[in-house]
Structure formats: structure tokens, C-alpha cells
Amino acid sequence: DTNSLSQKNMDNNCEMKYTRIVVAGDAGVGKSSVIKRFVAKAFAEKVPELMDKVFIPTDRSFREGVPLLIYDTSSQDRNFEKTNGSLRNADSIVLVCDAQKKVTMDRILSYWIPRLQDLGVRCPIVVALNKCDISRKTLTKEINDHHMIEDCMECSAAKDVRITDTFHAAQSAVLYPVAPLRNNQTGSFTENYVRALTRIFRICDRDRDDALNVEELIDFQQRCFGIGFSSHDVDGLKLQLYQKNPHCLTSDDSRSITVLGFLELHRNFINEHMTENCWNILRKFGYDNQLRLDRSLTPKPPTRSADQCCELTQQAEDFLTEAFKQFHSAEDAMSLQDLRNTFSATPDSELPFSLQDFSSRVETTKAGHLTFNGWISLWSMLAMFEPQQCLTSLTYLGFPTDVSALSRTRGKDADRTSDVIVKKTLRCFVFGSSGCGKSTFINRLIGIPFENQPPETIELRHVANRIELPDGSHHCLVMTEVPSVESIIANVLTDELPRSGDLVMLIFDLSQSRSLEYVMEIFQPFLTTKIGLPDSLPVQFVATKSDRHQVDQLDGRDDNEEFLLDILDICNRFGLTYPEVYYPSRESELFFSNISEMALSPEPFRPESARRQRSRTMSSARKWLKRAISVSVLLGVAYFTYRRYSPNASSTSTEQNNPSTTSVERNGSDQASTTRSTSYRNPV
């Protein structure tokens, strides 16, 4: 099966055992003579009708240490099927014709190409015009331009003219194929090749001015071929490109090479049968023979536990900032065409997000163009939810593979014991009853105007924006709207929230009597130890629709009686701040800045559950016990010091040494000691 064999060669040529070259053509054109000249470096007037297959070892092969296996074929009718079998299994085919016999040249297109098409052969074909030393006839333009023919050679087995070049071209067509690079029917580059060259150009364009200056061009040459350019070589290359098309160079004094010039440079390689250069460049930048980035070269996300997330490093943010500056057209925003230009080097299957479906997730302008905050927010969400896709897309954009693009956050166990959270991307879960205003609330984060009746959310919805805090730092706030669907709520409470949540917002509608009851049912697990929810997460109630008629909030969970719910009493009971009252005209930037600060400094906003109260009581008891022990030790040391160095202790010692001391003197001494002791305790 030629196709499967060729696919194997294309996928991994380094594991190729040999290149199978089949020599075919009409009778008497010199097929066997061409093979003998190449193998034995000699010419014989008489050769066998059919030569045996010839193995050319590695030391005599042309490229990448892959040996050759050359097959001769017979033109006799009795060997028709055998010849067909050889042609089907060929990696490359050399069609030989006779320069003295025009009919053999005509049969290339009238007989041999149709025969190969009927066999389903798709391997490279090289046409060898033998006996060119005798006749000056040349191949027709139709043969040279045929899309199935890779190359044409005018050679002579008798005079040893370009015989080696013919087999070289046949093997190079396998190891360095043209088909993935150029459409032979139209002569234009394939879409994948243009994407690959565009990415390579952007990687080499370090100053991001859309042109390669002399230093960048020399670095490119050194990286790909191990040798540099002289100033004379650079000038000659620029002159050659300018003569092709003046737009290949910039119009300023630097005369740097543009993207068009870079593509034209590679077009010259192909036209001059130097596809080896093209593939060397592609492989230096991580492409396989299908013009896809080698997955083994794509960085892997940091190893992390279930309660850790990934976020962009500062280097990745700086890279994305420069990319935004380079490709945005006007109004500090990216239009659809700007985004297409940005991802012109990225295959459709590797796009990080839909280029037309982001206005409901991040900040955009009124015209629907992507702002800088929206650009960074999209990448921050991608790093959090799909870190591998984020790294792959960054690699296609040209981010260096030897620089870390993602870092992992601290585990939740560490966050629960800390008063300060250190992370760039914050995730807030928003709960509330149907129609309470959740969608309208989180829409304000990305600047969507107020809607009276936004579409009902039936699945998890994520929106994000880049928030600037009062200290000048920037954080990405990701808000996840949880729909009023029991199965989704249960999954969030038991999985996503404990694993990745930084803040919980409970929204209730002041104009609906059962709205607070609904969020209290969600809030209740935070106050028990039966469900493994982290009660160390900060919680904030938000009241909406304050501009409407307000009603009492009722709790009807008891079948026999309804109770009034007092949100202020609830907050006092569990040590929470009073609810925020949100209305459409309220300044949203400050509001979401405050939310971000709550997530970063969660201690004042954590609910006082029974477990936390017990923990706090035990912690307080341990603290007072330590203080009591410390005071006892200090008093003991003070008493010892007093007894050791007090004058009373000295007089007692003297009395013991002087028995003649009178009782009057002893009484006076006791009174003085009492006076000194009293004066010592009073200040204390």
C-alpha cells in the first residue's frame, strides 16, 4: 500500500529503514544503463534486460543516513502485474525517457502518468531524459509543469551526466517532500506552510516591528544552518528580493525583510530544488512532516494537585501584552480581522477560543472589538480551565518553549490557614434563585448594559475581567454563574467550589419573598461539618432589585409554620459583613474591586460556623493557657530573685549567726521587713 508506506515515511523519516526507488519507462530508453552507471560508476553497451534490486548502503546514500533500495522494472507485457506491484510499493519513481525518441517523451503524459493514477500512486515522480548528450531535445513545458511530477533531469548514462543528481532528487523528494509545501496545480504555498512560515517569522522578529533586520536575519541563518551571513550576502539577498517585488523590503532606510520577502525567500528554495533547506528550517522550529508542531516539544502544564489551578506567569502576560500592541488596529481593541492576523500562524484546530464568540465572556467595546482587559482575561480563563491548550496556543503564537508560561497556585489547604491569598486569578461562584438578577449582576463585570430580561442560564457560565486594585496591582476576576439546577448546584458544591473557589456570592431578590430562603439552603452546608465544604471561603450576600417594592423574606422550610428571615440577624449570627445592595446605576468598578480584595484577604468575610467557633474557642483557650503559664513562670522568677537578694533575707542570716540578738531588735526588723514588703506589692 503506497499511501500507508508514504504516510509512515512522512510521519517519521528518521525511523525509515530505506528509500525504495523504482525505475520505470518504455523499452530501450536506458533504464538498466542508468542504474548501472549510478551503482558501478561505469557504462556498458550491453546490460541485462532486467537488473536485480540494488541496495545502496548508508555511507553512499545522500541524506540523513537513509540507504537506498533501487528496483529495475520490465516493459514486457508478461511482467505487467509485477511492474505494477513495484510501482505501488515505491517511495519514489524515476520515469526514464529517450531524448532521441520523442514518442517516449510523449508517453510520459499519455501513458505512464495515467497508469500511475489508476494504480493510486501518490509518491514523488522524477522524469529523467536520458541520452541528452546525443540529442538536444528537451522535455515539454507540459511535463515540467505537471502537478504529479516533482522534478525533471536531463542526463546521460553514457557520459555520466547528472545521473547522481537524478537519484538524489528522487530520494530528496521523499525525505524533503514538496507536496506539503506547495500546491503543484496552482504553484502557491499550502495554507499550513504559510502558517508555519508566519510563525517562524514572528519568532525571529524579536523587536516586533514586522520586519527582519540584519541582526535578526543573521540569527535566523545561524539557528537553522549553523553559519552566519556576511554583509555582502545580506546585500545580495536583499537585492534579489527587491527585484522580485519591492514590497519584500521595508521602505525605510533599514530595508529590512518583510513577511512577503520571507515567503519569497522560501519560494526561491523550492523553485531551485532546495527543499532540504525548507525542511531544515521547519524542523528547527518544531514542525513534523505534516507541518504540525511536534507534541513532544510543546511544554506541559505544571504538575498540580486537584485543588491547585494554573495561571499566567509574568513573562506570559508581558508576551501577550506585546502581541496585543502589535496586532490591535485602533481604539485600543482588536477587531475580528486583527484576531485573524494574530492567529494566522495557528491552525483552526488549535485556536485557543472562538474568534467570534467572546463578547458574552469578557470585556468588549460597543462595536464588539476585544479590549486589552478582555484579551488578558480570555488567556487567564484558558490557563485556569484548559492549561494544555493554553500552552499549545502560546507556542503557535511564538512564545519561547524554554520559558515558563504557567505557574500553579497554592493548594486550598494552605489557603484555609492563611489570612492573605497570593494569586493572580480569582474565582467567584455566584448562587441565587431563578430571576434574582445573577446574569445582570455578572454582566456588569464585563460592561454589558443592563437588561430587564436576560436569557435564562441553564449551564455554568464564566465571565472574567482584569481588575485594578487600589494598590495598583491587577488581578483577573473569574465569576461563575451557577444556574438554578439541582444537579449542577450539587456538583459545584461537592467538587468545583472546594477545589477552585476563592469567594462565594449569595444573591437574593428584595422583591421576591422566597429568594433569601433559596440562598440560605445553599449557605447551610457551609455551617455544618457533614459536607466537606471549606467554611474558610469568604461569603458575601448581595441584595438586588432595591428599586422595586420590597417584601418580607420568608422561610417556609418548616411545613407547619413560616418564619421571617432577617438578613442583618443572619450576618450578625455568623460573623459576616452586612449585605451589599446592588443596583444597575451603582459604580461597578469599585464594587468588583472590593470583591477581589475580599478574596485576597478573606479572614473578615469567613462565616462563623460551629466548627470554626469551636476551633476559635480552642485556639483562644490555648492562647490564654500559654499566657497563664508565662505569667506563672515570671512570678516564680521574681519571687526567687526577691528571696535571694532581699535585705530581709540577709538580716535573717545575721540573726542566725548572732544568737545574742534581742527580741526587741528582732521585732523591729520584722516591722521594717513588713514595711518594705508592703511598699513592693503596692506598685504591682
> 324-371, pLDDT tens digit by residue?
998 988 778 999 999 999 999 998 888 888 887 788 899 999 888 999
How far apart CA 300 and CA 290 sit, in angstroms, is: 22
Here the CATH number for the domain that contains residue 323 is 1.10.238.10
pLDDT band (50, 70, 90) for residue 31:
very high
Look at residue 650 and tell me if it is in a domain: no
Average pLDDT over residues 45-54: 84
Contact in structure between 95 and 127 (CB atoms under 8 Å): yes
What pLDDT was estimated at residue 1?
Answer: 35
Domain boundary (247, 267, 296) is at: 296
Count: domains in the chain: 4
561-599 in b/e form (b: 16+ CB < 10 A) is: eeeebebeebbeebebeebbebeeeeebeeebbebbbbb
85-94, 155-164, 579-588: segment of lowest average pLDDT: 579-588
**Does residue 616 sit within a domain?**
yes
- pLDDT for residue 663: 40
Q: Is residue 678 part of a domain?
A: no
Query: Are residue 62 and residue 150 in the same domain, yes or no?
Result: yes
Q: Which three cell numbers stand for residue 115?
A: 497508469
Band (678; pLDDT cuts 50, 70, 90): very low
Q: Name 344's Cβ contacts closer than 8 Å, sequence gap at least 6.
A: 194, 195, 198
Q: Do 40 and 166 fall within a single domain?
A: yes
CB 252 within 8 Å of CB 197: no
Task: Give me the mean pLDDT over the 508-512 stretch.
Answer: 92
| Percent with pLDDT over 90 in the chain | 45
Mean pLDDT of 153-162: 92
Out of 278-282, 502-506, 554-558, 647-651, least confident range: 647-651
pLDDT at position 672 over 50 = no
In this structure, are 45 and 144 located in the same domain? yes
Please indicate, yes or no, if residue 667 is contained in any of the structural domains.
Answer: no
What is the chain's mean pLDDT, rounded?
Answer: 83
Residues 171 and 96 in one domain: yes
Catalogue the long-range contacts made by 666-675 (C-beta closer than 8 Å, 24 or more residues apart): 673/648
**Beta strand residue intervals within 297-362, DSSP E:** 310-312, 333-334
The Cα–Cα gap between 333 and 322 comes to 13
291 and 325 fall within a common domain? no
Q: Is the pLDDT of residue 258 over 80?
A: yes
**Residue 393 lies in domain:** 303-408
Tell whether the model's pLDDT for residue 681 goes beyond 60. no
453 vs 298: which has the higher pLDDT: 298
Residue (of 92, 17, 13) closest to 57 by Cα position: 17
Which of 64-78, 106-120, 187-201, 372-386 has the least mean pLDDT?
64-78
User: What mean pLDDT comes out for the span 61-75?
Assistant: 81
364 and 503 belong to one structural domain: no
Most confident of 94-103, 516-525, 551-560: 94-103
Please indicate, yes or no, if residue 400 is contained in any of the structural domains: yes
What's 123's DSSP letter?
S
Q: Is 63 a domain residue?
A: yes
What local confidence, expressed as pLDDT, does residue 300 receive? Answer: 93
Same domain, 152 and 284: no
Asked if residue 4 belongs to a domain, the reply is no
Residue 558 lies in a domain: yes
Pull the grid cell for residue 452: 430587564
Of 258, 276, 296, the residue that ends a domain is 296
What CATH number has the domain bearing residue 470? 3.40.50.300
